[in-house]
Structure 1
Amino acid sequence: MTAPGVDLQGRSPWSVLPPLCLGFFMIMVDTTIVNIAVPTLQAAFDASLTTVGWVNSAYLLTFAVLLLVTGRLGDRFGPRPVFLAGLVVFTLASLACGLAGTAGQLIAARAVQGVGGALMTPQTMAMITRVFPPQKRGAALGVWGSVAGVATITGPVLGGLLVETVGWEWIFFVNIPVGAVALWLAVRALPDLPTHDRTFDVPGVVLSVVGLGLLVFGLQEGATYEWGTIAGPVSVPLVIGAGALVTGAFVLWQRRLGESALLPLRLFVHRNFALANAAGAAVSFAMTGIFFPFTLYLQQVLGLSPLHAALVGLPGSLVSGVVAPFAGRLSDRVAGKWAVATGFSVLAVSIGVLATQVQPGVPLWRLVVPMLGFGVGTGLTFSPLGNLATTGLDQRTAGAGAGAFNTTRQVGGVIGSAVVVAVLTTRLATTMPAAARDAAAGLPADLREPFVEGVRQAAAAGLGAAGGVDVPDGVPPDAAAALRAAARAAVDAGFATAAAQTLAVTVGVLVLGALCAFAMRGHQPVPGVAPAARVADAAG
């Protein structure tokens, strides 16, 4: 059974999921797979950490900024051709990434890869929304959501394996056979859906790309420039402020155009769509806020290798992949808001428990258990949230709505990254000196103040520089050994405390997401009611 007006030539609507999920899997994996290879890329290109950081930033920037535009392209030209174009661009860009001879070439190829990902992502949700009937859509989005859960941890694990065995190039080359299979399946399985001939909002495209580009760049790279001057009179606050003004102009322009807009604002009249966008931003914020300090803690405090650190989260991600399809089916039978609210609540409790366990020398099982709860929470949240966001979309605006939903999720992740880095850095400047004062109690009196000051300066120098405190010349061997042991204890305790406090920030954001879920309308999906009718009912 398919949605009205869709001809699959006798095939089940489930036949469209394999190519959509394969493409979405590649996109999600490539948001995380590079992080594990950062030290290797620094050595391979003799590049600074800031330069290599742009290998990931370039991908995320083009990906996030273009989602609104590419969602509307799917409405104008059809999801199938736009998805196929994105798949080809993404796969060829992956080849270019693996063949890159300089850091600049790799960054440019990653930016193009982000364009391919942006072309594909809204079409996956829009195709599911338009092909599946309302009473089956939650189950389909459950499968789609499970792909995101599995991809979250597959990136770091797969990246660690490839980097340690065949080389960094293969974190990109691996996309080529996957992309080829996805392309073959897409050509065979994806239907040509009706398009809607209307003028394309060129000023809206320009305003959205410029506004979101400035906002995302400022938030994403603010910590790199210490939230100050970028070049000459240009500063991070100026860039963010300009982005906010241009984005405001974009909203006013969309309001003026009405139905012809790049992003029809009437979509947000539907309460569940508006709240699902806010909740989507909250869950992306939290996922970024969880993994950044937690991964650093696993490696810097517990001393795990990148691959072993990735494996700590593997059970939780596998649980998420199992739970998500069931949660999607559940949202077809009961009001999806309850699954989403439960998911956010489980996430908040799990991360709250995890924050209490982030300590030096903690047994790993005490970290794995709350991460299992994290997997349950993400599985309950992601799929029903996508269903709630798309339930009120009609055939004309499915792409625009999917683009908006994915844009808010990505921008939420960018904001989360910026806030978490700022909070962690700020807390380290306090927690490490405090831990140093405690550790200095066992040192000779004349070494205590220099020791505390050394730890303070090391913490202020950056996240990765806090592991070493110079031992002054002429210090006896016994005292030098005591200094090093105290420094290690201070760094471990201070970093663990700062990481736990940063995780607490994400708990607050998850509580806000739960409140958004509770505020959604609680009606159950009604079999046989067309999406357009539900939009009219919601608008009324």
Structure 2
Amino acid sequence: MQERKVNSSAIIILTSLGFFMSMIDSMIVTTATTAIRHDFQISVNVLQWLLNIYNITIAALLLVGVSLGEKIGRKKVYLIGIAIFTIASIFCALSTSITLLIISRMIQAVGACVMTPMSMAILTHSLPVDIRGKALGIWSGIGGLALIVGPVLGGFIVATLSWQWIFWINLPIGIITIYFAHNLLPESKGKDDKLNFTDILFIAISSAGIIWSLSTITTNTTHVITIITGLSSLALAILFIVRQKISSTPMIPLRLFRTKVFTNGNIATFLLYASMFGVLFFLPQFFLVLENVNPLVAGLQLLPWTATLVVIAPFAGSAVDRFGEKIIATLGLFLQGIGYLLIIFLFNATGSYIAMAIPLMIAGMGLSMAGPALQKAVLSAVEPIYLGKASGIYNIFRLFGGAIGTTICVIVFNIFGGTTNSTAFAEGFDAVIITAGLISLFGIVFSIRLTTRDKK
């Protein structure tokens, strides 16, 4: 019995480290962008590709990487992903131009695209159902630690060392994770389907095109090109789905969506992260622009929101095992939505940071509860042989939720406010917070449809 506990702990820690690495890298880079821009003497328009290329590459290759993991082994692909990510981090740190840095970031994303879904699949496949919710809660908490460490550590590194060190720190974490994961993680495979390169091309181009369009539609670039690219990518995505329906070995088995838990869980996930990332994009800017604080202080002011992921998520995971996915996911979406809406009433009435910190804590509790609940709902709704593909689909919904949520909030911000002065920024920020809150509350429509199993 003791041996099983040790093995379970090792599995949880080693799968969580991969998720942590990919999460902290995306967070820590945001605090170093100004230093990188000054170092390479580049414009903001060029700089944005340092962030965009990471998400675009992950969107393009995520399902391809998952399919490889199902075919040749989830552990094997997980280790390859961490190795690619770690080596690319060295290239990032040694980059002498923005072009080399962007290319290195793209290589990083090739590794990162399999780290999260494969870690989820390994974790879910390896652990019994009765502790799966708790395990996913710990997994979310360790990954969520990146939201705390990322902004603060990034600000500290840039202030005391140089931006290159935000990539060097991946080296020891990557080496340690690869060594112990190779020795302690169990191997598993999914359905050994033949890879269809036409489908790979369709999903890669359509996913990358959609994310690129969402990333650029709110900028001052030519909207005609952006809209054409977005619509063409959407049409290609529809064609991809049609091919999945008629294929005998689909990359995305559409039969999984016949299960109500799987479908509703993924839609609720989409809305959960659309709400969260919309706020995440604007909240640091709010502290920097309206509160006039430095990046390190802004990172610290996010702690009431982000710290709850580490504190609450493990307990929320245990609550999922005890009370079920439906109750915890619904309560989580409700608390996140209400938390955001309370910011408008409490902070605007007092102007006190405490009046914002308390609602942020409530919203963070909601995210910490809904995340593990929806993960368990989605992954428990499929047979073990489909766990890898289910993890990939879940992460696609999470990724696109974040991208579309951010785009919606930027559009809302520009409609109701702007950056011309502090008053316009405050009005736009209020509109964003209300929008994000309503998106989260809308997710309840789908979370209340989660059940342990579909009724025949």
**TM tier, shorter chain?**
over 0.9
1:197-276 matches, within 5 Å, as 197-226=192-221, 228-229=223-224, 235-258=225-248, 260-276=249-265
Instruction: Choose the corresponding residue for 1:508, options 433, 438, 451.
Output: 438
Label 1:62 to 1:422 Cα distance change in 2 as closer, same or farther (>3 A).
same
- Alignment correspondent of 1:449: none
CA distance in 1 between partners of 2:216 and 2:349 (Å): 30
Preserved CA contact (<8 Å) 1:360 1:496: no
Preserved CA contact (<8 Å) 1:302 1:361: no
Report the Cα offset of residue 298 of structure 1: 0.8
CA distance in 1 between partners of 2:407 and 2:222 (Å): 10
Report the Cα offset of residue 31 of structure 1: 1.8
SS at match of 1:223: coil
1:313-360, Cα deviation, whole Å (9 max, x unpaired): 113322221111111111112221110100010111110011334559
- Alignment correspondent of 2:127: 132
SS at match of 1:262: coil
- Alignment correspondent of 2:428: 498
CA distance in 2 between partners of 1:255 and 1:170 (Å): 47
- Structure richer in helix, relative to its length: 2
Which stretch of the first structure deviates more once superposed, 85-94 or 371-380? 371-380
1:159-206, Cα deviation, whole Å (9 max, x unpaired): 111111111011111111111111111111111224543312322211
Residue ranges of structure 1 left out of the alignment (5+ in a row): 3-7, 230-234, 430-462, 467-490, 524-533
**AA in 1 matched with 2:138:** V
CA distance in 2 between partners of 1:195 and 1:409 (Å): 22
CA distance in 2 between partners of 1:42 and 1:391 (Å): 45
SS at match of 2:231: helix
Report the Cα offset of residue 149 of structure 1: 2.3
1:237-264, Cα deviation, whole Å (9 max, x unpaired): 1111101100000100000014x11010
Please state if 1:111 is matched with 2:106: yes
CA distance in 1 between partners of 2:109 and 2:182 (Å): 22
SS at match of 2:28: coil
CA distance in 2 between partners of 1:224 and 1:335 (Å): 42
Preserved CA contact (<8 Å) 2:117 2:391: yes
Please state if 1:63 is matched with 2:58: yes
TM-score (norm 2): 0.96
Q: Greater Rg, structure 1 or structure 2?
A: 1
- Alignment correspondent of 1:315: 304
Report the Cα offset of residue 361 of structure 1: 8.7
Instruction: Choose the corresponding residue for 1:182, options 173, 177, 181.
Output: 177
Instruction: Choose the corresponding residue for 1:415, options 404, 408, 427.
Output: 404
Percent identity of equivalent pairs: 27
- Alignment correspondent of 1:159: 154
**AA in 2 matched with 1:375:** G
Report the Cα offset of residue 395 of structure 1: 2.3
Preserved CA contact (<8 Å) 1:71 1:401: no
CA distance in 2 between partners of 1:239 and 1:33 (Å): 30
CA distance in 1 between partners of 2:90 and 2:202 (Å): 32
RMSD of aligned residue pairs (Cα, Å): 2.0
1:269-312, Cα deviation, whole Å (9 max, x unpaired): 11111111111111111111112222111111110111111111
SS at match of 1:12: helix
Residue ranges of structure 2 left out of the alignment (5+ in a row): none
Instruction: Choose the corresponding residue for 2:321, options 332, 337, 348.
Output: 332
CA distance in 1 between partners of 2:8 and 2:67 (Å): 23
CA distance in 1 between partners of 2:31 and 2:221 (Å): 24
CA distance in 1 between partners of 2:193 and 2:234 (Å): 28
CA distance in 2 between partners of 1:213 and 1:243 (Å): 8
CA distance in 1 between partners of 2:287 and 2:184 (Å): 43
**AA in 2 matched with 1:114:** A
Label 1:76 to 1:501 Cα distance change in 2 as closer, same or farther (>3 A).
same
Aligned length: 456
Report the Cα offset of residue 13 of structure 1: 2.7
SS at match of 1:61: helix
- Alignment correspondent of 1:518: 448
- Alignment correspondent of 1:54: 49
- Alignment correspondent of 2:96: 101
Preserved CA contact (<8 Å) 1:139 1:326: yes
Label 1:360 to 1:222 Cα distance change in 2 as closer, same or farther (>3 A).
farther
SS at match of 1:168: coil
